[in-house]
């Protein structure tokens, strides 16, 4: 190919927010699906993601789950190029750094900041490769794009938009209130050359009659000189996976239950990870599910789940310090069903050894003793896409964990058929002799409706066989509906013009 024939780098559209959890991920997902349906080869991209909600690529590399969702919506294979830097918080001021899908080490916030140039260069190189391989890249920002104290070292928002020469869509959340202040304040905090990149504003999560907000749109356009590209109403008729645990930071607990259906609870651990494991249960009509952060009477619950954890030993210590351990053991002793996923599986065992200090100071902690298993923390991290069977029902999921767990009683929970496209032929997890306690490393075990049907029946909750699609089929249907929702409520002509470089 001569120089004249060389393909131009793909255009980039950046979706930035006035704050965290304003809907950047969902807007990005909707645009990925929309442009894919227009016949473009689209890739999502987030230079740096901070989340304990991660997933695995077909090569067995780790990346943010939001970008996996966006890749699915775009109809492309997830790649760590789409999320080159992933920070997984392990405490208030430190994170595990996953770089291009592999653990690069643990860093304090201060130490990470000193290495920002290295991370920016790696992220920029990943973006360059995406732009060579695709027709369009939809970039997602992080948090607020106008944090003035962080802007100089920010590698996710406007510095990366400048690098990519991207047009920016600013998303604001009307549901949380103060939407006018969100938009005006954000734009006022930006240097002129950044503010000029903002081509329009999207108002997200509107409830009620949208026509009544026209005066608000007019005011924003007059005050800011930026067009309002549309107002996205709240949707309830389909579901898109959540970006991060910000959606469960203030669990309503039992107050969210109606009391008319069998109920289950998930303990909201301080370092909870991969909470999206339980979204399929939240969507089941036969049951109710809530998150609990404070110890309480569990007698009204049919089942209790201990989720994954980014710092298993710290979360185990928290369970003991708060008195949760006694509540859980009492619930199990009285016949309550208890399940643990990943870190929760380790916690339900007899002990957790960490001889190398993988999760902090080296040492050994007694687990809750509800499963006849023991765990040894050690590197490297296991990251696999897996196929398995649960009571003869085939499902697919993924494994992300440090350490190995050995079983010396009970029975295995699932038979693993395949890991990262290679035959496995071994077992995972454990079911206690009582039959009421189980644990597994398999994230996504509840994504298969038939497995949920079987598990609920074991608990004693009567269910009719689910007729809804599960797993990828269900997600693809939801992405299509999100794209239509996006086209219906946004002004697509100017957004399509951005994709062509004509904005």
Known catalytic residues?
342, 443
DSSP 207: -
| Distance from C-alpha of 76 to C-alpha of 96, rounded to nearest angstrom | 27
Contacts of 222 (CB under 8 A, 6+ apart): none
**Beta bridge partner(s), residue 264:** 289, 303
Radius of gyration of the chain (CA): 23
Backbone angles phi, psi at 476, to 5 degrees: -65, -40
170: helix, coil or strand? strand
CA distances from 378 to 35, 233, 352, 354, 362 (A): 43, 47, 11, 7, 11
The DSSP result for 141-169, as a single string, is EEEETT-TTTGGG-SSSHHHHHHHT-EEE
Give the Å distances, CA to CA, from 40 to 32, 34, 230, 416, 494. Answer: 9, 9, 23, 37, 17
CB-CB neighbours of 94 under 10 Å: 19
Q: Which two tokens stand for residue 150?
A: 């962080």
- Asked whether the beta carbons of 455 and 287 are under 8 A apart, the reply is no
Q: Residue 30 CA to chain centroid, in angstroms?
A: 16
Distances (CA, A) of 205 to 39, 82, 186, 198, 232: 28, 26, 18, 20, 6
Give pairs for 253-256: CB < 8 Å, separation 24+. 253/290, 253/291, 253/292, 253/293, 253/294, 253/296, 254/290, 254/292, 254/296, 254/300, 256/288, 256/290
- Tell me how many degrees the CA angle 173-277-353 measures, rounded to the nearest 5: 120
Nearest to 483 by CA among 235, 264, 225, 259: 235
**How does DSSP classify residue 295?**
-
Cα(81)–Cα(10) distance, rounded to whole angstroms? Answer: 15
Q: Quote the CA–CA distance of 436 and 114 in Å, as a whole number.
A: 49
């Amino acid at each position: 190919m001569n120089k004249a024939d060389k393909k131009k780098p793909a255009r980039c559209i950046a979706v930035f927010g006035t704050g965290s959890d304003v809907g950047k991920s969902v807007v990005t997902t909707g645009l990925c699906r929309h442009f894919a349906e227009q016949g473009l080869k689209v890739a999502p991209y987030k230079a740096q993601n901070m989340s304990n909600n991660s997933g695995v690529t077909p090569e067995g590399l780790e990346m943010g789950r939001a970008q996996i969702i966006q890749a699915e919506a775009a109809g492309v294979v997830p790649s760590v190029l789409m999320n080159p830097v992933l920070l997984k918080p392990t405490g208030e001021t430190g994170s595990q750094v996953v770089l291009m899908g592999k653990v690069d080490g643990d860093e304090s916030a201060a130490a990470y900041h000193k290495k920002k140039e290295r991370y920016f260069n790696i992220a920029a190189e990943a973006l360059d490769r995406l732009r060579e391989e695709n027709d369009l890249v939809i970039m997602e920002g992080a948090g607020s794009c106008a944090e003035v104290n962080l802007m100089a070292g920010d590698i996710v928002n406007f510095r990366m938009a400048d690098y990519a020469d991207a047009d920016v869509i600013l998303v604001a959340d009307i549901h949380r209130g103060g939407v006018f202040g969100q938009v005006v304040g954000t734009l006022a905090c930006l240097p002129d050359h950044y503010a000029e990149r903002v081509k329009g504003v999207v108002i997200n999560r509107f409830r009620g009659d949208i026509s009544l907000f026209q005066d608000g749109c007019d005011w924003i356009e007059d005050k800011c000189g930026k067009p309002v590209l549309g107002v996205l109403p709240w949707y309830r008729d389909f579901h898109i996976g959540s970006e991060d645990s910000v959606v469960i930071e203030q669990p309503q607990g039992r107050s969210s239950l109606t009391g008319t259906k069998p109920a289950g609870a998930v303990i909201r651990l301080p370092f909870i990870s991969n909470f999206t494991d339980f979204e399929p249960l939240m969507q089941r009509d036969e049951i109710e599910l809530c998150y609990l952060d404070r110890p309480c009477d569990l007698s009204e619950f049919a089942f209790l789940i201990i989720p994954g954890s980014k710092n298993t030993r710290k979360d185990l210590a928290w369970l003991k310090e708060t008195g949760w351990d006694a509540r859980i053991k009492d619930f199990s002793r009285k016949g309550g069903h208890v399940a643990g996923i990943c870190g929760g599986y380790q916690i339900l065992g007899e002990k957790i050894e960490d001889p190398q200090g993988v999760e902090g100071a080296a040492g050994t902690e007694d687990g809750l003793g509800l499963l006849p298993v023991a765990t040894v923390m050690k590197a490297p991290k296991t990251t696999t896409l897996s196929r398995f069977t649960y009571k003869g029902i085939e499902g697919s999921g993924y494994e992300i964990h440090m350490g190995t767990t050995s079983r010396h009683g009970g029975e295995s929970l699932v038979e693993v058929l395949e890991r990262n496209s290679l035959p496995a032929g071994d077992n995972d997890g454990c079911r206690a002799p009582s039959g009421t306690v189980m644990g597994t490393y398999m994230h996504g075990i509840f994504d298969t409706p038939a497995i949920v049907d079987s598990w609920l029946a074991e608990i004693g909750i009567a269910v009719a066989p689910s007729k809804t699609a599960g797993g990828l089929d269900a997600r693809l249907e939801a992405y299509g509906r999100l794209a239509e929702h996006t086209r219906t409520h946004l002004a697509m002509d100017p957004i399509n013009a951005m994709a062509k470089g004509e904005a």
